[in-house]
Amino acid sequence: MGVLDEPYGILFVNDPNRPQETSSEQLQRLFGLTRSEARLTERLVAGDSVKEAAAELGVTEGTARTTLKAIFHKTGVTRQPELVKVVMASPLWIAGGLLPWNAPI
């Protein structure tokens, strides 16, 4: 019997006080997002509301909401909290957003 045939567990340890950063380019590669979609995702994961993210990115709230629908479709979620959860469970987040730009994901 091989190692993978046996039950196993994985423990991830993360410092909640250490700010997590994501990379727009990595979000694009990992989830197939456009640059605009990745930038909006970054803002939402950082805790911005759609309205705040839109203002920060220099787009209308309507444009941000349309972009968010495309992000939902590409990531397979239907709500913002689900999107944040998907990003935070990704290899990108677990690595602290510090993967080299060309690292395989």
What are 44-83's pLDDT values in tens digits? 998 999 999 999 999 999 999 999 999 999 999 999 999 9
Q: Is the pLDDT of residue 40 over 70?
A: yes
Amino acid 101: pLDDT: 43
Tokens of 78: 């239907």
Indicate the burial class of 32 (C-beta count within 10 angstroms; 0-12, 13-18, 19 or more).
Answer: exposed
- For the chain, domains (ranges, CATH) are 22-94 (1.10.10.10)
State the average pLDDT over residues 76-98: 81
Please give the residue that has the higher pLDDT: either 7 or 4: 7
Please give the residue that has the higher pLDDT: either 62 or 96: 62
What DSSP element (H or E) covers 37? helix 35-45
Amino acid 60: pLDDT: 98
CB 64 within 8 A of CB 54: yes
Q: How many CB atoms lie within 10 A of CB 40?
A: 29
CB 104 within 8 A of CB 73: no
Amino acid 9: pLDDT: 61
